Structure 1
Amino acid sequence: MVASIGPAKAEETLRTGLAMGADRAILVEHDAEVESLGVAKALKKLVEKEDIGLLIVGKQAIDDDANQTGQMAAALLNWPQATFASKVEVDGDKAAVTREVDGGLETISVTLPSVITTDLRLNEPRFASLPNIMKAKRKPLEKIAAADLGVDLTPRLSLVSIREPEKRQAGIIVSDVAELVEYRLMIVL
């Protein structure tokens, strides 16, 4: 199953997920932007409603890049979590999750049910075939009003400002180390 929270146009994204192999979809309809905590609360309700034992979410959302939803959902559900997964192997009631860390690859084991956030290296990109796109139009897509979940989606953050970073001074090209040293000495003196 795939799920999303957002406006009606999010149905297109869910149909893509159906075309790529999901058997059904749920769209929690909400026209306003939803913060990470609100999404996590909605996911908790969906997990409870659908009796899901493994919640897989992206590492970070494309709209706010916050990297918070999966961790918040795990906390609300009181489930273990594994973050930034580049490989997942489920065996019975456990999942082995591999992730890239500074020193190489780290593999941890979590007991299901759990929440896993994914890294872009988890899967090879795949594209929906035309027959699967057509089949996706007939697969079930349930629409639920956000208000029907009984979740408070009131924003708790307010945008203070957005500004571009200050322009950096252009770099220089030097032909050798001696020229670089000479240039640096001129700046210091």
Structure 2
Amino acid sequence: MKIVVLVKQVPDSGAERSLRADDNTVDRATANNVINEMDEYAIEEALRLKEAHGGEVVILTMGPDKATDSIRKALSMGPDAAVHVVDDALHGSCAIATSKVLAAALAQQNADLIIAGAESTDGRVQVLPHMLAERLGIAALTGARKLTVDGSTLTVERQTDEGYEVVTASTPAVVSVWDTINDPRYPSFKGIMAAKKKPVQTLSLADLGVAASEVGLDGATSAVLEHGKRPPRTGGNTVEDSGDGGVKLVEFLATEKFV
């Protein structure tokens, strides 16, 4: 079984994040960039499937040159190889353009299974797995908290607010996972050293047959028009009870449209 795992490098959600002043895109140059947290669960699930069924695990990343750091970190967990789609024209690409590029790269991989995190911590749109499945003409099993493989049959417990749904499909397919599916392993020293020698294939837009006019800021179907810093936190309202505290509280909640 060949499994491709989508990995995105994102600014650390635990640190201060900002947008660029010139084009309102995420400022990745000055950020502390890391592997998207949900993608680590996708990597772990792929490795467990490989251990159980054999095959290979390939990392696929679309991002700037600095994304190589996250690729090597992902490889240190145990995958066999990686593909890095990098091209200056990709800067500012929207989700639709991103799905077009990734689908073109995936078409070259001939994977049995594609696994992705359910969302990224920078965009949080949760639509990319669906878009990729549509472009590739294969099934999408999304929001998985459990994945079972039996030959060419995939069974997923799809996490919902009320519990879970059981859905099935045949390979090839796209599966997105939540952080409830497993506990990602930590890279060992041996894994970190081995990652330095694992093959990383670099692809440009020309290699994928995608025109530069279809991606980037010029080809985006959505854009951030303006942005500003989060306003500083202010002191809360104090309700003093002089016998009518309950009334004041209800009036405040009504003003804030809670009741």
Instruction: Give the TM-score range, shorter chain.
Output: 0.7 to 0.9
The DSSP-based 3-state class of the residue aligned with 1:127 is coil
For residues 147-187 of structure 1, the C-alpha deviation after alignment (integer angstroms, 9 at most, x for no partner) is 32122322222212334479788254688xx8642324776
Partner of 1:45: 104
Residue 139, structure 1, aligned to residue 198, structure 2: yes
> Alpha carbons of 1:174 and 1:91: their partners in 2 closer, same or farther (altered >3 Å)?
farther
Q: CA deviation at 1:30?
A: 2.5
Ranges in structure 1 where 5+ consecutive residues have no aligned partner = none
AA matched with 1:21: G
Q: CA deviation at 1:8?
A: 0.9
Task: Answer yes or no: is the 8 Å Cα contact 1:6–1:33 preserved in 2.
Answer: no
Residue 88, structure 1, aligned to residue 153, structure 2: no
Of 18, 30, 44, which aligns to 2:87? Answer: 30
Of 108, 121, 135, which aligns to 1:62? Answer: 121
The DSSP-based 3-state class of the residue aligned with 2:108 is helix
Distance 2:169 2:240 in 1: 53
AA matched with 1:83: T
Normalised by the size of structure 2, how large is the TM-score?
0.64
Distance 1:76 1:147 in 2: 19
Task: Answer yes or no: is the 8 Å Cα contact 2:239–2:248 preserved in 1.
Answer: no
Q: CA deviation at 1:15?
A: 0.9
For residues 24-49 of structure 1, the C-alpha deviation after alignment (integer angstroms, 9 at most, x for no partner) is 00000123133211221122212221
Ranges in structure 2 where 5+ consecutive residues have no aligned partner = 1-57, 255-259
Partner of 2:226: 161
> Alpha carbons of 1:168 and 1:48: their partners in 2 closer, same or farther (altered >3 Å)?
same
> Alpha carbons of 1:161 and 1:109: their partners in 2 closer, same or farther (altered >3 Å)?
same
Residue 170, structure 1, aligned to residue 232, structure 2: no
**RMSD of Structure 2 on Structure 1 (CA):** 2.5
The DSSP-based 3-state class of the residue aligned with 1:9 is helix
The DSSP-based 3-state class of the residue aligned with 2:100 is helix
For residues 53-108 of structure 1, the C-alpha deviation after alignment (integer angstroms, 9 at most, x for no partner) is 21111112233222121111111112111111111111111111112212212221
In the comparison of the two structures, how many residue pairs are matched? 186
Partner of 1:8: 65
Residue 181, structure 1, aligned to residue 240, structure 2: no
AA matched with 1:160: L
Q: CA deviation at 1:135?
A: 0.4
Distance 1:23 1:174 in 2: 64
Task: Answer yes or no: is the 8 Å Cα contact 2:60–2:83 preserved in 1.
Answer: yes
Distance 2:232 2:85 in 1: 40
AA matched with 1:156: T
- Aligned sequence identity (%): 27
